Amino acid sequence: MTYTDTPGRYKVSSKVCMVQNLGMNKTLFGGNMMAWVDEAAAIFAREYTGERYMVTLKFGEFEFHHPVREGDIIHFFCLNPHIGRTSCAFEIEAVRSSDGTVVVKTSAVFVSVDENGKPKKIDKRPN
């Protein structure tokens, strides 16, 4: 996770769209993008809260604003995080590196759980 010049915005990870990620229209298969977003969001939730076990509770609407093509590099940014007692909520953007276009934007909520999968209080708070 890398802090950006924009307050409350963190770069989490990047992916490159390869042939095996494409659907029938020769653009990124939507399910792959959803998996990439979930992975980036999980990384952010763990690193931001310091909790070992964070599970996906929900995502907001996935709206695909622009297609992703073979060779495109996509960066994932998390914005405006908010920590509750057991949860962490934030927005996440998938941005094409070549032109800065936001290709997908959604929101996410992750919950901290113990080793048995039961919700637990988030102990560590970010600075």
Domain spans of the chain, in order of start: 2-112
Q: What is the pLDDT of residue 85?
A: 94
Q: What residues in the chain have per-residue pLDDT under 50?
A: none
Q: What is the pLDDT of residue 7?
A: 79
Q: Which residues of 19-33 are buried (b: 16+ CB within 10 A; e: fewer)?
A: eebbeeeebbbeebb
Nearest to 56 by CA among 83, 38, 36: 38
Q: What is the pLDDT of residue 98?
A: 95
User: Domain 2-112: which CATH class?
Assistant: alpha beta
Q: What is the pLDDT of residue 125?
A: 62
C-alpha distances in angstroms, 21 versus 33, 44, 57, 70? Answer: 9, 23, 25, 8
Q: What is the pLDDT of residue 1?
A: 64
Contact 105, 65 (CB under 8 A): yes
pTM: 0.91
